[in-house]
Amino acid sequence: MTARRPSLAVVGATGAIGGVMLRIISQHADVWGEIRLVASPRSVGRKLVVRGEESEVLALAEDVFDGVDVALFLVPDEVSARWAPIAASKGVVVIDDSAAFRLDDDVPLVVPEINPHAVRLRPRGIVASPDCTTLSLIVAVGALHAEFGLRELIVSSYQAVSGAGRDGVAALRDQLSLVAGTELGTQPGDVRRALGDGAGGGTGDAFDTGGTGGAGRAARGGVRGGGGAGGRAGRSPFAAPVALNVVPWAGTDAGDGWSTEELAIRQECRKVLGLPDLRTTATCVYVPVLTTHSMSVHARFESEVTVDRAHEILATAPGVVLFDDPAAGDFPTPSDVVGTDPTWVGRVRRSMDDPRALEMFLCGDNLRKGAALNVAQIAESVAAEFPRD
């Protein structure tokens, strides 16, 4: 076969995740030939920079995939569900960041640090990337599983508002501007009354929302107003004010009190790790942080664990940084981790009541490893399948 660099399409190039993806492509080894930037019709004609060159955004249509080898889908579920099979039918390998295909038995769910072999098993021509909360968790937990044998996960996530897309970021910034310098947060319901709680409308171009989690997709069906005085705080995708507050709900209603985001952690960890019966439970909470998800994790294993051995594993695991000396103030926080690629792990302790269990706290940028970076890593492994000089 003739050696060549594969061509690439980035679908959703104008969104928040798309912007991160273009930076990653520009920073990583140059493995791509032609790169096409694709978005919704309202973005057609915009010029974006990738690999130091300006490229004009094209409209999503069937012919945009002609001559493309690999396509990255960084778009809402409903867009991927419609267009990814069309691209795949043209022989394009699709790497999809949405939830549309993650639990499809014929679509591998891939985290390159954990199950890189799965990328070649793609009968539908589609490879899925997990949810941002799963990705912030699984590189660390997967490394420990390889040594100790994972039996149970109990997770509480503290999720950044960028998980809900640009609406989420705008809502937090607007709300913070209204509560700053006030005495709000000292009386029951005063923050909610000041910021309002009315129904709102959508925000236009679904491609440009850039959400990494369920709330971003839910927001496109209707967002909550943020302004008591005529909607002063703008529109918000959250079920309650996020400024001066935490919101224990991310995703949409999955029944029996669970959210889709919580079930995603359970289902995706099981699939990636090949543990269909893994006992897993999660509670997902939005916090007033712009970017980077945090998690408190209780992990129970088949064999007894020690902190020293866990430290050794985490310190050498790909995609993980161990930062764990709380007496010296060394532990991960979102404001320190944002903009970096690894999952940062600290506060590693053996459970007081169970010698087979570890407690830990971790942080991961939900727009990098939690979305764009994992997709880019999968795509680069696919590019390696093409014959090279």
Active site residues: 132, 293
Q: Outline where 249-356 has alpha helix (H).
A: 260-273, 307-316, 334-337
Instruction: Report the Cα 384 to chain-centroid distance in Å.
Output: 24
User: What is the distance of C-alpha 88 from the center of its chain?
Assistant: 23
Cα–Cα distance between 36 and 31 in angstroms, integer? 14
Q: What are phi and psi of 94, to 5 degrees?
A: -100, 130
C-alpha distances in angstroms, 230 versus 105, 195, 225, 289?
48, 10, 9, 26
Name the burial class of residue 276, with classes exposed (0-12), middle (13-18) and buried (19+) by CB atoms within 10 angstroms of its CB.
exposed
Please provide residue 64's backbone torsions phi and psi, each rounded to the nearest 5 degrees.
Answer: -70, -20
b/e string for 186-210 if b means 16 or more Cβ within 10 A?
Answer: eeeebbeebbbbeebeebebbbbbb
DSSP per-residue string spanning 168-196 = HHHHHHHHHHHHTTS-TTSSTTHHHHHH-
CB 106 within 8 Å of CB 128? no
Q: Residue holding tokens 């993650």?
A: 102
What's the distance, CA 14 to chain centroid? 17
Q: What is the largest CA-CA distance in the chain?
A: 71
